[in-house]
Structure 1
Amino acid sequence: MQSKTVYGGIEAGGTGFSLAIAIGEPSNITERISVPTTTPQETKDRVLQWFKERGEIHSFGIASFGPVDLDKLSPTYGYITTTPKPGWQNTNILGWIKEQYPNTPVGFDTDVNGAAISETKHGKHERGAIDSCAYITVGTGIGVGVVINNQPVHGLVHPEGGHTLVKMQKGDEGFQGTCPFHGNCVEGLVSTGAISKRVNLNADQIPTLSDQDPVWKVIAHYLAELCANLIMSLSPKIIVLGGGVLNRECLYPLIRQETLTILNGYIKSPYLTPENIHKYIVQSPYKSSAGLVGSLELARIELSK
Structure 2
Amino acid sequence: MNRLIARLPKPWMRECLLLMRVDRPIGTWLLLWPALWGVIAAGSGTIHPGWLVIFSLGAFVMRSAGCVANDLTDRDIDPLVARTRNRPLAARRVTPTLAKRLLFALLVIALLLGLTLPVQAWQLCFVGAILAVTYPFAKRLVPVPQLYLGIAFAWGVPIAWVTVAHTLEPTTWLLFGAAMTWTIAFDTIYAMMDREDDLKIGVNSTAIFFGRYDIAATGLLFVVTLGLLVEVGLRLGMGWGYFLLLGGALLHAIWQIVSIRNQENSALMRAFVANKWFGMLIFSAFLAGG
Do they fold alike, i.e. is TM over 0.5?
A: no
TM-score, normalising length: structure 2: 0.29
In terms of fraction of residues, the more helix-rich structure is 2
How high is the TM-score relative to the length of structure 1?
Answer: 0.28
- Between Structure 1 and Structure 2, the one with more strand by share is 1
